[in-house]
């Protein structure tokens, strides 16, 4: 189903490499990602009227410090912290500012230098019950996986298959942190982090930046933003019927589909928040790709693999690319833009016209996720010359 819905246009995208890059400063990462997006959009940095940015653990003023070398100054800079969905929240607000006519040209930006703050898993907030008990994010996802195995029979092999699929996709992404595909057996044999999740079922922290240039609807060479929906989670505790994170994704996706005038069946390619293997299984259900409890069988069927009917995470996802929290959402946006412009090289989803990005940020006790953003993007009317990314 097609409508004339168009919120804004993405005229340029850019990212850095993803990985542990302790030698790279925030300014260096910003220069690389923002410069690529600005050159891709074929604009002068002085045309940028505002910056909407996402970061979680960045120093105060990190965005202004990072962008000044590009000549981006004297404009409003709005920095948003919304956990893992920080830069897609910035994207959402940038789209709203464009749609309202407030600005003509916006830079949306995300940055994170994780290795400056963490050696491994992110420490929980001690004031939350989970934090007081030492439950970091792997433990919360491990409990979700355990419940899925009990209620729906999701197998260890199905969980591992998500990791194998996404690492296989990541082999075709030269910006990804991990570019080697393990076998199911190797995934299951890797060290247990939070049963039943093993090391190769958990994403790695990373240092990276990502950016996009937004302009008003109507640019025939731009990727069209059909919709962008943002929600925070409802109250959630042990009485909730669904596992943590399921309902917020489902509700946000419903809003995005309705605004775009499409259904999940219309979408050709997806980038979703797969911080842990069970996360992708839950998310594909919540997006409507599978019934409740059917996410494990979905990945096992090949439906979400490159060459399948609706590929999920052709970039390699967080499991292969890595997870620099403030840059992750815009990295997902960039991947779908490259897919819709036919620039994704050997990971290209043939004939992709509609793409969807889902980013879910969590970590606050008592609610079903800090934030979730779902956006539906459509291929340009007049594609640019194909330059593989």
Q: What is the number of alpha carbons within 13 Å of residue 215 lying toward its C-beta?
A: 18
- 5, two tokens: 């819905």
- Mean pLDDT value across residues 170-188: 97
Domain enclosing residue 266, as ranges: 8-122+202-378
Torsion angle defined by CA atoms of residues 40, 44, 46 and 48, in that order, rounded to the nearest 10 degrees: -30
SS3 labels along 252-295: HHHHHHHHHCCCHHHCCEEECCCCEHHHHHHHHHHHCCCCCCCH
Within a domain: 139? no
pLDDT tens digits for 307-323? 999 999 999 999 999 99
Contact between 321 and 176 (Cβ < 8 Å): yes
pLDDT tens digits for 40-85? 999 999 999 999 999 999 888 999 998 988 889 999 999 999 999 9
Within a domain: 136? no
The alpha helices in the chain, defined as continuous H runs, are: 26-41, 62-67, 86-99, 129-132, 137-152, 156-170, 184-189, 246-260, 277-287, 295-301, 317-321, 325-340
Nearest Cα to Cα of residue 299 among 175, 155, 99: 155
- 278, two tokens: 């069970």
Within a domain: 94? yes
Nearest Cα to Cα of residue 298 among 261, 270, 331: 270
Q: Which residues contact 185 (CB under 8 A, 6 or more apart)?
A: none
The percent of residues above 90 in pLDDT, for the chain, comes to 81
Q: Write the burial class of residue 279 (CB in 10 Å: 0-12 exposed, 13-18 middle, 19+ buried).
A: buried
- Mean pLDDT value across residues 100-117: 94
- Give the count of domains, the chain: 1
Q: Which residues contact 60 (CB under 8 A, 6 or more apart)?
A: none
Residues annotated catalytic, as ranges: 84, 323
Within a domain: 263? yes
Asked whether residue 368 carries a pLDDT value surpassing 90, the answer given is no
Contact between 87 and 330 (Cβ < 8 Å): yes
Mean pLDDT estimate for the chain: 93
CA distance 79 to 61: 9
CA distance 13 to 109: 10
Within a domain: 134? no
pLDDT tens digits for 181-232? 999 999 999 999 999 999 999 999 999 999 999 999 998 999 999 999 999 9
Overall residue count recorded for the chain in this entry: 389
Residue 125's pLDDT is 79
The angle formed by the CA atoms of residues 345, 267 and 279, to the nearest 5 degrees, is: 85
Q: What is the number of alpha carbons within 13 Å of residue 65 lying toward its C-beta?
A: 11
Name the 3-class secondary structure at 208.
strand
**For the whole model, what pTM was predicted?**
0.95
Number of Cβ atoms within 10 Å of the Cβ of 72: 22
Report the CATH number that the domain containing residue 325 is assigned in CATH. Answer: 3.40.47.10
Within a domain: 159? no
Residue 4's pLDDT is 55
Nearest Cα to Cα of residue 11 among 225, 175, 229, 230: 225
Asked whether residue 1 carries a pLDDT value surpassing 70, the answer given is no
CA distance 148 to 162: 15
Beta-ladder partners of 12: 213
Asked whether residue 296 carries a pLDDT value surpassing 80, the answer given is yes
Beta-ladder partners of 357: 271, 375
Residue 2's pLDDT is 38
Within a domain: 108? yes
The angle formed by the CA atoms of residues 273, 322 and 203, to the nearest 5 degrees, is: 65
Q: Where residue 3 falls among pLDDT bands split at 50, 70, 90?
A: very low
Within a domain: 336? yes
Residue 239's pLDDT is 83
Q: Which residues contact 239 (CB under 8 A, 6 or more apart)?
A: none
pLDDT tens digits for 324-343? 999 999 999 999 999 999 99
- 361, two tokens: 């940020």
């Amino acid at each position: 189903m097609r409508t004339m819905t168009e919120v804004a246009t993405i005229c340029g995208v850019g990212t850095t490499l993803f990985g542990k890059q302790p030698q790279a400063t925030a300014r260096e990462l910003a220069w690389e990602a923002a410069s690529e997006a600005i050159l891709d959009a074929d604009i002068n940095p002085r045309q940028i009227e505002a910056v909407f940015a996402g970061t979680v653990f960045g120093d105060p003023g990190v965005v202004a410090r990072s962008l000044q070398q590009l000549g981006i100054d004297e404009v409003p800079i709005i920095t948003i912290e919304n956990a893992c969905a920080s830069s897609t929240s910035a994207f959402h607000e940038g789209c709203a500012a464009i749609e309202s006519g407030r600005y003509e040209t916006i830079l949306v930006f995300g940055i994170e230098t994780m290795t400056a703050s963490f050696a491994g898993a992110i420490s929980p907030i001690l004031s939350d019950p989970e934090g007081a008990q030492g439950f970091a994010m792997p433990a919360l996802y491990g409990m979700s996986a355990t419940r899925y195995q009990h209620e729906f029979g999701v197998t260890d092999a199905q969980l591992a298959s998500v990791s194998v699929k996404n690492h296989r996709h990541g082999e075709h992404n030269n910006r990804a942190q991990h570019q080697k595909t393990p076998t199911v057996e190797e995934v299951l044999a890797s060290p247990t982090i939070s049963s039943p999740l093993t090391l190769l079922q958990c994403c790695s922290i990373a240092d990276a930046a990502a950016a996009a240039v937004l302009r008003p609807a109507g640019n025939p060479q731009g990727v069209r933003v059909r919709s962008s929906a943002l929600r925070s989670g409802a109250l959630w505790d042990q009485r909730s019927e669904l596992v943590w994170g399921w309902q917020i994704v489902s509700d946000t996706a419903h809003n995005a589909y309705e605004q775009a005038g499409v259904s999940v069946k219309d979408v050709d390619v997806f980038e979703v928040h797969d911080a842990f293997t069970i996360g992708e299984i839950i998310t594909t259900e919540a997006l409507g790709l599978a019934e409740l409890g059917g996410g494990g069988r979905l990945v096992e069927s090949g439906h979400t693999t490159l060459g399948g009917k609706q590929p999920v995470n052709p970039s390699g996802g967080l499991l292969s690319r890595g997870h620099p929290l403030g840059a992750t959402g815009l990295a997902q946006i960039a991947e779908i833009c490259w897919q819709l412009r036919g620039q994704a090289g050997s990971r290209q989803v043939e004939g992709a016209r509609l793409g969807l990005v889902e980013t879910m940020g969590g970590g606050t006790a008592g609610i079903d996720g800090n934030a979730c953003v779902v956006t539906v993007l459509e291929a340009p009317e007049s594609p640019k010359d194909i330059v593989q990314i």
